[in-house]
Amino acid sequence: MKLRFTKMQGAGNDFVVIDATRAPVNLSHAQIQHIANRYFGVGCDQLLMVESTTTPDVDFRYRIFNADGGEVEQCGNGARCFVRFVVDKGLTDKHEIKVETASGVITLKLQEDGQVTVNMGAPRFTPAQIPFEAEQQATTYELPLASETITVSAVSMGNPHAVMLVDNVHTAEVASLGPQIESHPQFPQRVNAGFMQVLNEHEINLRVYERGSGETLACGTGACAAAVSGIQLGTLQSPIKVHTRGGILTIQWAGGESPVLMTGPAEIVFDGEIEI
């Protein structure tokens, strides 16, 4: 079948976006893996499926699939690209949109300057909500790996994140530690692994080895997870500028049950068609 798509990126985290608002599009694990493949397919970190919804007061539903084909609960950079997509493709004339995701309804706003602000909801720190297997909730946890024990914070932004502090993201052992953290048995649904270097109380460098996709140039929920972890540790204060390899994201959080706000770019790269 011929599949029309739009290639997009938000701070270098890239997506294949499918318009399934007029008719459902059902893709198998294998088809998503093929589309995401950077050599045999289009290439992307995640595939986003934009659907209509009958839920009152909600404008759209959007589903997120990692490059390994697995469907996941939330995607921050994807949420921004979703807004750019539905506005630029004329699917809505609104610039403030409510969208249903697998982890709940989030509100997004396309700003005058073209950046998008996403209300990601409140972070969740209780182990059961992450999910993370731990004796009790703590600000940091000792995580035994094959060759060493590391210290991580654990938080859910709708999807699970483990964040570790590093002295320098450029020399951090992302390639070796990332996969070990991603599939650590204490994270029953696997986990996104963040490597955070604190520059000052309002700025960090961040690299993320993403669950189901490997290292990406940016991770929106990962930026939120790192920022709130740093605030919980007392090393960061809102707002926080997050420097990723693909661009800058700004995170705001007032603590407690207040929502995390993420602001960043979202661009359409090209439209295309692929035979799958």
Active site residues: 75, 219
Q: Cα separations (Å) of 211 from 13, 68, 110?
A: 14, 9, 27
**Residues 72, 159 contacting (CB under 8 angstroms):** yes
Q: Does 156 bind ligand API (CB under 6 A)?
A: no
Q: Does 225 bind ligand API (CB under 6 A)?
A: no
What DSSP element (H or E) covers 10? strand 2-10
Residue entry with tokens 């993201």: 169
Smallest distance, ligand API to C-beta of residue 82, A: 11
Torsion sign over Cα 123, 258, 108, 100 = positive
Site string for ligand API, 50-89 (x = CB under 6 A): --------------x-x-----x--xxxx-----------
Site string for ligand API, 9-28 (x = CB under 6 A): ----x---------------
Q: Which is nearer to ligand API, 66 or 201 (CB)?
A: 66
By residue count, the chain amounts to 276
Size of the site for ligand API (CB under 6 A): 21
Q: Does 250 bind ligand API (CB under 6 A)?
A: no
Q: Point out which span in 128-136, 141-149, 220-228, 238-246 binds ligand API (CB under 6 A).
A: 220-228
Q: Does 194 bind ligand API (CB under 6 A)?
A: no
Residue 106 phi, psi (nearest 5): -120, 155
Q: Hey, is 262 helix, strand or coil?
A: strand
CA 215 – CA 13 distance, rounded (Å): 10
Q: Which is nearer to ligand API, 6 or 213 (CB)?
A: 213
Applying CB under 6 A, among 123, 212, 246, 247 the residue interacting with ligand API is 212
Smallest distance, ligand API to C-beta of residue 70, A: 7
∠ CA 89-1-211, rounded to 5°: 70
* Alpha-carbon dihedral 163, 166, 171, 175, rounded to 10 degrees: -20
Strand-pairing partners, residue 47, are 16, 65
Q: Which is nearer to ligand API, 230 or 264 (CB)?
A: 264
Q: Omega of the bond prior to 239 within 30 degrees of 0, cis? A: yes
Q: Hey, is 114 helix, strand or coil?
A: coil
Site string for ligand API, 25-54 (x = CB under 6 A): --------------------xx--------
Could you list the residues that contact ligand API (CB under 6 A)?
13, 45-46, 64, 66, 72, 75-78, 159, 192, 210-213, 216, 219-222
